[in-house]
Amino acid sequence: MSLNKFFYITLLFFSYNVSSQMRVDLLEYKHRIQFSERYFTTEDNIHTAILPLFFESESALEKTPGQLTIHPAKKNKDGISARIYPITDLMGGLESGTMQASPFRYTAGIGIGTEFSSKKWYSSLKVLPYVSEQIFTLDSVRQNFGIDAGTTRPITGSLFQRSEFILAYKPHRIFTLSTGYGKHFFGEGYRSVFLSDHAAPYPFFKIQTSFGSIQYVNLYAVWNDNSAFPSDRTMDKMKFSSSHYLSWNIIPGLNIGVFETVVWQAKDSLAQRNFDFNYLNPVVFFRPVEYGLGSADNVLLGASLNYKPDQHHCFYSQLLLDEFLLSELKAGNNWWGNKYAIQVGYKSNQFFVDNLYLQLEFNMVRPFTYAHKYAVQSYGHFNSAVAHPAGANFYELVNIVSFRKEKIMFTNKITFLGIGVDKDSINQGQNIFRSYSDRNGNYGHKIMQGNRMTIFNEQFIAEYPLLNKIDLYITAMYQYRMSWSSTETLHQHFVTVGIRTRLWNIYADY
């Protein structure tokens, strides 16, 4: 028996595969680069700004070489596919630039993934417990303080876990219902100012309605606030969010989107609200409902415009409004309540030569955007922003270049962030979990106000597929991070190598 066959028999307990199955793609950004043909499609019934991407295995998306489904063992007449497989994160290396007792850093975890799919059903479960000895940047840009980014808290000591569960049902070609415990992303960019996958996973229920060139999403989620007492589980405060996203492919390649969301606390000073069924209305804008309830829930509105001139280039943009008064904007007084975020970007999966991927992106967020009077109603979950990881009060440039040479994929990612953090205990609008009532006056609030920090971050990653069918890669990474302010300059170098299953984004680049 060959070594390759031995791996498949021992790692994949069983596998059935036929042409018509419901599939769900990964959120991991290098996966989206490698299989970019799916995300640069101009077909009018595919909406690539709504992630994770649901599709049928017989669709055009399945034609991409290297699809991650297991090598077919045999066909099942009922269209059923199932598998069990290992997932792992075994990475280790050295870090320099901080006064630590030991420069050795590592992440060591082995878990399990299961998947079942048929024409109308899909389920996926991934559980990865791991121990981690990493350096956490406590510079007030990241507010996690001992919480590994993308998770909640350690189970105990340095033992963490990442997990995801998705159960989807397609009762009709128009509707796709899904529920579980996971993350979501709205947008064509590397970042999103609407909703990203930066924070920890959360319970959710989602309805996707597709008709012609339009897809409409209702997403209901359960979040938690632990910003006041991050290490005390008994002090967590539950909150809920309800979001709508309308995506319309007007003509081939041209897409507009409309986004709105509302966040409210499960318990306020008057009563135990729990889930407010008034926000179940699938089509109405939230602001009239909010006023009708006499509440001051946190409502955000947004719009996007994306254009793909062909299947190799994409121009994208997002505009998010938290609060906004045109008269105050015209006055030019930098009123605190003009809270908004902007993203513009360009990406190409064939930038002049084959296999060369290029992405350029600009993001900016005004002070106090996403924040609220009460932390429990801020646009965050488990002490992490659910939109841009840096929170607010910043400018950012992102550059990603990726190239495939035979089986090896090289990716270089550079982020350049200019941000203003709190100074002298005064809220400068970066930390979305601080009350905007703590601000210093109503006017004169500019982006990067406060203690200005500039952060340059570069990651160079080389990946070689060890077992492509289960997304297992040999990975080597070098990361350089430089941050400077008026008081200090810090240089950090990280070199890590190991074996990792490509599943989730881990944002350590801000």
Q: Could you write out the three-class secondary structure of 375-386? A: HHHCCEECCEEC
Cis, peptide link before residue 252, omega less than 30° from 0: no
pLDDT tens digit at each of 510 positions of the chain: 444 444 344 444 333 333 457 778 888 999 999 999 889 999 989 999 999 998 776 554 554 433 333 333 334 556 788 899 999 999 999 888 766 667 888 899 999 999 999 888 999 999 999 998 765 544 445 555 555 666 777 788 788 899 999 999 999 889 999 999 999 999 999 999 999 999 999 999 999 999 889 999 999 999 998 887 777 788 888 999 999 999 999 999 999 999 999 998 877 655 556 555 566 666 656 555 544 444 567 889 999 999 999 999 999 999 999 988 888 888 889 999 899 999 999 999 999 998 999 999 999 999 999 999 888 999 999 888 999 999 999 999 999 999 998 899 999 999 999 999 887 788 999 999 999 988 988 999 999 999 999 999 999 999 999 998 889 999 999 999 998 888 888 888 999 999 999 999 988 888
- What is the pTM assigned to this prediction? 0.89
**Residues near 17 by beta carbon (within 8 Å), at least 6 away in sequence:** 69, 70, 72, 73, 75, 81
Between CA 17 and CA 65, with CA 182 as vertex, the angle to 5 degrees is 35
Between CA 295 and CA 304, with CA 301 as vertex, the angle to 5 degrees is 170
**Residues near 119 by beta carbon (within 8 Å), at least 6 away in sequence:** 20, 21, 22, 56, 79, 170
Q: In the beta sheet, which residues pair with residue 157?
A: none
Alpha helices, DSSP H, located in 332-408: none
Tokens 């409409």 correspond to 216
H or E element, residue 249: strand 237-251
Q: Which two tokens stand for residue 504?
A: 């989730």
**Residues near 363 by beta carbon (within 8 Å), at least 6 away in sequence:** 189, 191, 193, 341, 342, 343, 388, 394, 395, 396, 398
Max Cα distance, the chain (Å): 76
Q: Which two tokens stand for residue 389?
A: 């990881």
H or E element, residue 291: helix 286-293
